[in-house]
Chain A
Amino acid sequence: MKISKKIISNLKEGGSDFFLSVPCKLLANMITILEEDKEVYYSAIPREEEGMGICAGAYLGNKLPCIMMQNTGIGNSVNAIVSLLQLYQMPVVFLISYRGTPGEPVGAQGAMASVTEEILDTLRIPMLRCNDEKDLDKISTFTNHAKVIEGPVAILCNFNLMKDD
């Protein structure tokens, strides 16, 4: 719970005030925290691509949205990221549970993990890789960076960082 608390606290410190999630067991504690948080909007949603649309609308209404999802969700959302968030220059924070990284017990998750960073690179999305607790201190600055560059940024939380939280 300590890591999850720190992540949410740093996202909020960076300005995020509107949260969506498509669930992952690594995100479960963060979801619990957000469900009880009265300061920000939070909802679960069925699909990441739809979430990109909801985030775009929330940004138009002056929120700084954060969508929490597995790295698989990037694959579901490429067109929405490029032809909506990037075309209109809309800041959105992607908080990604990076399935398939070392520690992952499900072998099949390795497939999407092996292409995740290349996809984000191709989309020119800045990445913050969080491997251990001290990396979390960079989250608030990185969240604000989305506003500065007026586009999406991605925070990748490795399996081993989250698994015992």
Chain B
Amino acid sequence: MNRFELLNLLQNTIQDELVVCNIGLPSQELYKINDRPNYFYMLGSMGLASSIGLGLSLAVHKNVISIDGDGSVLMNMNTLATIGNRAPANYTLLIVDNGSYGSTGDQKTFTNERTSLKNVAIGSGCQNVIECSGEETNENLKKALADKNNSYVIISKIKSGNVPIKPIPLNAVTIRDRFRKEIGLVPYL
């Protein structure tokens, strides 16, 4: 299973949860599969999907899912310590771990060698850290969303590889505004 297939599969589970999706191909694939206003697509700031989702989960009551990647988590690994100490129960971090920097040409990441993000997450204090196959991801995500008392970190081990895709034809403020409308916020000012 590759990322595109995994993201496709997750559409059975994700309903009105607020999703923050990693920059590049993950967001472009998610947009192509099933664009929804409750999907916040990152257009910049590689590494911060997990952090944006954490900040959001601290501000709202709805379930929040950060869809991050192994390369991006490696870039902002301190976020696992913050999540380990501060994540509320409505937060789920889903790390799509395909062992490669997919958006830049599938160069290998260190999770292909000796680094285990599961062990880093546990060592950082994260609760309910689950490493699983792509096929098992849906059931684990369902479990995480149903649990109202605990946050989760799910590391989905899949194959590298991408599908031909175009950039997202939405500008940043459009993504922002339709996402905030989905949360039910009145105009900010």
Question: Which A residues are closer than 8 A to B by beta carbons?
Answer: 18, 41, 43, 45-47, 49-63, 65, 79-80, 82-84, 87-90, 147-148, 150
Contact = CB atoms under 8 A, between A and B. Distances in A.
Contacts of A61: 55-56, 58-60, 183
B55 A65 contact: yes
Interface of B: 20, 40, 42-60, 76, 78-79, 81-82, 86, 172-173, 175-176, 179-180, 183, 185, 188-189
Given A49-B48, A50-B48, A88-B176, 14 more contacts: A41-B59, A43-B86, A46-B81, A46-B82, A49-B76, A50-B51, A58-B58, A60-B59, A61-B60, A63-B59, A79-B44, A83-B45, A88-B172, A148-B189
Which secondary structure characterizes the binding site on chain B?
A: helix
B172 A62 contact: no
A46 B78 contact: yes
Contacts of B175: 88
Secondary structure at chain A's binding surface: helix, strand, loop or mixed? helix
B52 A53 contact: yes
A1 B73 CA distance: 38
Given A50-B78, A50-B82, A80 B59 contact: no
B79 A80 contact: no
B37 to A, nearest CB: 12
A65 B52 CA distance: 12
Contacts of A47: 76, 78
Contacts of A88: 43, 172-173, 175-176
Given A46-B82, A49-B48, A50-B76, A57 B56 contact: yes
Nearest to B186: A62
B43 A87 contact: yes
Nearest to B184: A62
18 contacts: A41-B59, A45-B78, A49-B48, A49-B76, A50-B48, A50-B79, A52-B45, A54-B55, A54-B82, A55-B55, A57-B52, A58-B56, A61-B183, A62-B183, A62-B185, A83-B44, A87-B43, A147-B188
Contacts of B40: 60
A33 to B, nearest CB: 19
B59 A62 contact: yes
A57 to B, nearest CB: 3
Nearest to A91: B188
B130 to A, nearest CB: 23
B179 A60 contact: yes
B40 to A, nearest CB: 7
A54 B42 CA distance: 14
Contacts of A50: 48, 51, 76, 78-79, 82
Contacts of A18: 55, 58-59
